[in-house]
């Protein structure tokens, strides 16, 4: 597991990256398994007493947190390299005493409510809380579970859900989501696999991670049709068995690497990927002036020396992913022309602008639309990523900046990027991860540190 190394200052660790900008990249970079898929596949292990053998699981702190949560629910977990072997013990399975801090640290853990309710007929799970990029309500999860026959209440910052009736079994229903929610679709999909009768999910999210989940559930004996479209049909079954499943490649990590190539104007080959998962991103990169070569499991990107601005608006899949909005904005600060970047999924996901401005980027914000005036170069700075994807965007901007930048906020980065600096160094970047300079920084700047301490105690995202 990737260690979150760093200096302990007061009660927080403060590791940081030093990035020397201006180095070209070249060669091949390997994409890890998808964090967002692996987390939910792990939650699906709660649906069976048999062994779930997941392969291609990324080594990330988020996976560590989910592992701890599953253990707290009575599961046995074993790790071998990139494999995770999970067995839920029916005699120990319980949602009592779920550590509040763990559920809060990982919003994705809330999807466990679906399988737990389906198995136990009763769940008590801490509220996932808000987060920096938006309020992130759970109303779609709750309304869906109610439609399947559960009574759901919120008490003392916990969600209490209960299935009444002798059999304590959820009952299939037709559910129309008011908005496309990845998490709510996953919660309801898992819950419905063991419900009595048929469930139809309308306006379902179509993300590849949902297709991955449905594929694994079907291998476990579920009857799911239509995953990947906006209507998913689930015929409930009595029980599910085990499965061996390979997690899909991480399209967000792959997209980050594509943008790393573009921002450094470097040719790069990226694999394994499922090119279809990245179409919205590769199209925008092509419009900006990058040549993209596709093969079955890899993408090669060759950027022109001069790239031009393009506009993006984030949308649910197959639209441009909100998780690559900040990285793409980093790229747009270095191209010719002005680009408009509109965030439509999360209401507060533009905080990276202020960090880019420290690097000399010319960006103005109106509502949730940023106008980015590209320039020839960014200047190095000391910057802090406030959430997972913005932290990755800081790394990308630093690769393109003149001079040496310092990036803090790595506890976010480690949640979702497996060995990012090592992977980038292998293809020519010059990034070091250290602690000693943090001591100097912290000694000089205790006030800033205290402020950061407050920032770090908030819940992170994605």
Query: Judged by CB under 6 A, does residue 387 bind ligand UD1?
Result: no
CB of 382 to ligand UD1, least distance (A): 27
Cβ neighbors of 89 (< 8 A, separation 6 or more) are: 49, 74, 75, 76
| Total binding residues toward ligand UD1, as defined by CB under 6 A | 23
Query: Which region, judged by CB under 6 A, interacts with ligand UD1, from 3-11, 176-184, 271-279, 379-387?
Result: 176-184
CB of 134 to ligand UD1, least distance (A): 6
Chain-centre distance of CA 294, in angstroms? 24
Distances in whole angstroms, Cα of residue 234 to Cα of each of 149, 167, 169, 173, 192: 16, 20, 15, 10, 6
Concatenating the DSSP letter of every residue in 373-427 gives: E--S-EE--EEE-SSHHHHHHHHHHHHHEESEEEEE-HHHHHHH-TTHHHHHHHT
For ligand UD1, the closer CB: 34 or 332: 34
Strand 312-313 with 338-342, pairing: parallel
Query: Judged by CB under 6 A, does residue 107 bind ligand UD1?
Result: yes
Residue among 92, 26, 3, 20 at smallest CA distance from 427: 26
For ligand UD1, the closer CB: 154 or 291: 154
For ligand UD1, the closer CB: 179 or 422: 179
Asked if residues 361 and 292 have their Cβ atoms less than 8 Å apart, the reply is no
For ligand UD1, the closer CB: 108 or 123: 108
Dist. CA 146–CA 156, nearest whole Å: 20
Asked if residues 113 and 145 have their Cβ atoms less than 8 Å apart, the reply is yes
Concatenating the DSSP letter of every residue in 197-257 gives: SEEEEES----HHHHHHHHHHHHTT-EEE-BTBSEEEEE--S-B--EEEEPPB-HHHHHHH
Phi, psi of 237 (to 5 degrees): -125, 170
Dist. CA 212–CA 217, nearest whole Å: 9
Query: Which region, judged by CB under 6 A, interacts with ligand UD1, from 7-15, 23-31, 47-55, 181-189?
Result: 181-189
Query: Judged by CB under 6 A, does residue 343 bind ligand UD1?
Result: no
Find the binding residues for ligand UD1 in span 208-247 (CB under 6 A): 209
Q: Return the residue of 116, 152, 163, 184 that touches ligand UD1, per CB under 6 A.
A: 184
Catalytic residue list contains 131: yes
Query: Which region, judged by CB under 6 A, interacts with ligand UD1, from 167-175, 182-190, 260-268, 435-443?
Result: 182-190
User: Using CB under 6 A as the criterion, what x/- string covers residues 123-162 for binding ligand UD1?
Assistant: -----------x-xxxxxx---------------------
Cβ neighbors of 76 (< 8 A, separation 6 or more) are: 86, 87, 89
For ligand UD1, the closer CB: 183 or 255: 183
Cβ neighbors of 211 (< 8 A, separation 6 or more) are: 227, 228
Query: Judged by CB under 6 A, does residue 181 bind ligand UD1?
Result: yes
For ligand UD1, the closer CB: 323 or 418: 323
Query: Which region, judged by CB under 6 A, interacts with ligand UD1, from 178-186, 256-264, 299-307, 407-415?
Result: 178-186
Dist. CA 32–CA 24, nearest whole Å: 22
Q: Return the residue of 19, 38, 39, 148 that touches ligand UD1, per CB under 6 A.
A: 39
Position closest to ligand UD1 via CB: 183
For 102-130, give one letter per residue: b (16+ CB within 10 A) or e. Answer: ebbbbbbbbbbbbbbbbbbbbbbbbbbbe
User: Using CB under 6 A as the criterion, what x/- string covers residues 286-325 for binding ligand UD1?
Assistant: ------------------------------------xx--
CB of 437 to ligand UD1, least distance (A): 31
Q: Return the residue of 1, 179, 291, 422 that touches ligand UD1, per CB under 6 A.
A: 179
Sign of the CA dihedral 223, 227, 233, 236?
positive
CB of 207 to ligand UD1, least distance (A): 7
For ligand UD1, the closer CB: 184 or 299: 184
Query: Judged by CB under 6 A, does residue 44 bind ligand UD1?
Result: no
Q: Among 131, 290, 391, 430, which one carries the catalytic annotation?
A: 131
Crossing angle of the two packed helices 113-120 and 139-147, in degrees rounded to 10: 20
Query: Judged by CB under 6 A, does residue 440 bind ligand UD1?
Result: no
Residues recognised as catalytic:
131
List of residues contacting ligand UD1 (CB under 6 A) = 36, 39, 107-108, 134, 136-141, 179, 181-184, 205, 209, 322-323, 345-346, 462
């Amino acid at each position: 597991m990737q260690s979150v190394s760093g200096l302990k200052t007061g009660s927080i660790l403060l590791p940081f990256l030093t990035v020397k900008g201006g180095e070209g990249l070249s060669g091949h970079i390997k994409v890890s398994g998808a964090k967002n898929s692996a987390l939910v596949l792990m939650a699906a292990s709660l649906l069976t007493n048999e062994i779930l053998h997941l392969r291609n699981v990324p080594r990330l702190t988020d996976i560590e947190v989910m592992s701890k949560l599953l253990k707290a629910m009575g599961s046995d977990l074993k790790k071998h390299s990139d494999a995770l072997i999970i067995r839920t013990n029916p005699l120990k399975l319980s949602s009592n005493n779920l550590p509040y801090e763990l559920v809060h640290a990982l919003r994705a853990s809330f999807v466990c409510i679906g399988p737990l309710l389906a198995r136990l007929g009763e769940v008590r799970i801490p509220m996932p809380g808000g987060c920096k990029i938006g309020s992130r309500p759970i109303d779609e999860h709750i309304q869906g579970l109610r439609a399947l026959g559960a009574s759901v209440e919120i008490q003392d910052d916990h969600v209490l859900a209960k299935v009444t009736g002798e059999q304590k079994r959820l009952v299939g229903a037709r559910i129309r989501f008011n908005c496309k929610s990845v998490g709510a679709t996953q919660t309801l999909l898992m819950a419905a696999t063991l419900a009595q009768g048929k469930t139809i999910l309308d306006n379902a999210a179509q993300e590849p991670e949902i297709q991955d989940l449905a594929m694994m559930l079907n291998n476990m004996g579920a009857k799911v049709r239509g995953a990947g479209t906006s209507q998913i049909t689930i015929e409930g079954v009595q029980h599910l068995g085990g499965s061996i499943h390979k997690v899909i490649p991480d399209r967000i990590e792959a997209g980050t690497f594509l943008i790393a190539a573009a921002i450094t104007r470097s040719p790069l080959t990226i694999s394994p990927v499922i090119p279809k998962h990245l179409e919205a991103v590769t199209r925008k990169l092509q419009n900006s002036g990058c040549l993209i070569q596709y093969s079955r499991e890899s993408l090669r990107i060759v950027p022109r020396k001069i790239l031009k601005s393009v506009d993006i608006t984030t949308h649910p899949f197959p639209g441009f992913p909100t998780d690559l909005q900040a990285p793409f904005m980093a790229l747009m600060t270095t191209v010719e022309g002005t680009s408009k970047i509109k965030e439509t999924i999360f209401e507060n996901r533009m905080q990276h602008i202020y960090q880019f401005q420290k690097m000399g980027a010319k960006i103005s914000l109106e509502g949730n639309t940023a106008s980015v005036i590209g320039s020839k170069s960014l200047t190095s700075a000391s910057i802090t990523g406030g959430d997972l994807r913005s932290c990755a965007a800081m790394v990308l901007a630093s690769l393109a900046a003149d001079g040496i930048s310092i990036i803090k906020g790595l506890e976010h980065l480690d949640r979702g990027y497996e060995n990012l600096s090592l992977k980038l160094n292998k293809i020519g970047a010059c990034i070091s991860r250290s602690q000693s300079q943090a001591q100097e920084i912290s000694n000089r700047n205790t006030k800033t540190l205290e402020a950061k301490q407050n920032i770090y105690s908030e819940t992170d995202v994605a």
